Chains A and B, each alone.
Chain A
Amino acid sequence: MADLHFLANPARFRRFSQRVLPGLGFATVLMLAVGVYMAFFVAPEDYQQGKTVRIMFLHVPSAWLSMGGYALLAALGASLLVWRHPLAALMARAAAPVGASFAAVCLLTGSLWGRPMWGTYWVWDARLTSMLLLFFLYLGHIALSRAYDSPERGDRAAAILALIGVINLPIIKFSVDWWNTLHQPASITRLDAPAIHNSILVPLLWMAVSLLFLFVYLVLLRTETEIDRRRLENAEAAA
């Protein structure tokens, strides 16, 4: 991390990101194109799930990235509160909607997969419910960071919320698991029952890495925008 400290300066970060972004964007498009091709044409159909297994190539990485995104928010919140990194606040502001979007994609694709496989768009399954609650935590973070006339206040309030949220996430996950097993014993076949065959696993991991690239690209691009926006606001306030 020590080597990344030079990025704490927004102006220096901006120069860095401008150099990195075009190449990263190109790599993301390329990787996603290959990943989508593999997901649709190379990966075999599942003997039980049929074509719907292809939804998983988007669904599972989205779930991973939405959880990783919240961990990123908490780390950025900590570095804002502890070291007062000016960039951390802007990056958290940029990353929260991206993470929330991945959570939404995860919920939507899960729902579309559930209709043919489980016969319903939504069940109060423990995993679905905790993903929904994660989505709500994201919404709270986004709303709080934008709720103040002074953006710095919103940044720091949201940072505290992210830290408390990350402490609570395991507790929420545990209690939702408990709640579900109390109400209905596992009646739905889970994905994780057998080990996943390589023909599915390779495209899945490929898609996960491509979507991670997309995540990083979007966060960097949005951070750049936030830096410009904050400069503009400061200039307006000074004028």
Chain B
Amino acid sequence: MSGFTTLLARDLRLVLRRPGDVGVVLAFFVVATVLFPLGIGPETNVLARIAAGVLWCAALFAALLSLERLFAADYEDGTLDLLLLAPWPLELAALAKCLAHWIVTGLPLSLLAPVLGIAFGLDGPSLLALGATLLVGTPTLSLIGGLAAALTLGARKSGALLALLALPLCVPTLIFGAGAIETLAAGDGIVTHVAILAALALVALATTPWAIAAALRQAGE
């Protein structure tokens, strides 16, 4: 377990030393979201209707944007070779990297999205639901995205390919994440949606670390 925490702490420290990298992702999220009212028009009822979908999609794109570098730096400078040689499971290393990615992107995105939701005219319960679903749903995005990042390590045009691989697999999370706010508007609770999001996150947690580790082993060969 000490390897896990060491790697996690190292990744977080790397981000702390260069906070601009995370700042760019969050700025992208804000700018991409702001484009929608400009493109669609300022009617509050229309914006409130599409807010959840827009914010969820923007969060998905923002998370993908930062994933390309998840393993690439370690791959280039040889850290990955050391991780492959390390006497503890590569699956844990994969999990630590994804957790670090979630802490620096998924978590801030979940906190930032309700603030942007205010500008879209969402009411109080919807804002809470938006934050809650993102909080439960973004770990899945980090895990699936981590898999796509590991698979495309060293590939040509890895950025676009990463999105092509990750986006179809993220569809269930998007549907239940954005759907929760719609259910709330219809007068029902969001417990079911949050529970399914949590289930999706657990399925991802149970499957992706093995697949990421397998992909990393090939990259190291």
Interface residues of chain A, those whose CB is within 8 Å of chain B, are 81, 133, 136-137, 139-140, 143-144, 147-149, 153-154, 156-157, 160-161, 163-165, 167-168, 171-172, 174-176, 178-179, 182
Residue numbers in A under 8 Å from B179 (CB-CB): 178-179, 182
Partner of A176, one of B151, B175, B183, B207: B175
Q: Does B103 belong to the interface (CB within 8 Å)?
A: no
CB closest chain-A residue, reference B215:
A160
Are A160 and B172 neighbours in the complex by a CB distance under 8 Å? no
Given contacts A144-B165, A157-B155, 14 further A-B contacts (CB under 8 A): A81-B214, A136-B168, A139-B164, A143-B165, A147-B152, A147-B157, A147-B161, A153-B219, A157-B152, A157-B218, A160-B147, A167-B203, A171-B172, A178-B176
A158 to B, closest residue via Cβ: B151
Contact in complex: A160, B151 (CB < 8 Å): yes
Are B169 and A164 touching (Cβ within 8 A)?
yes
Given contacts A143-B161, A148-B154, contact A157 B215 (CB under 8 A): yes
Q: Chain B CB within 10 Å — which of A133, A164, A179, A182 has the most? A: A164
A183 nearest CB neighbor, chain B only = B182
Residues of A within 8 A of B175 (CB): 175-176, 178-179
Give the residues in chain A near B18, CB-CB below 8 Å.
Answer: none
10 contacts between A and B (CB under 8 A): A133-B171, A140-B165, A140-B168, A144-B151, A147-B157, A148-B154, A149-B156, A153-B219, A164-B169, A165-B169
Chain A residues in 8 Å Cβ range of B104: none
Report the minimum CB–CB distance from A98 to chain B (whole Å): 19
Residue of B nearest to A153 (CB): B218
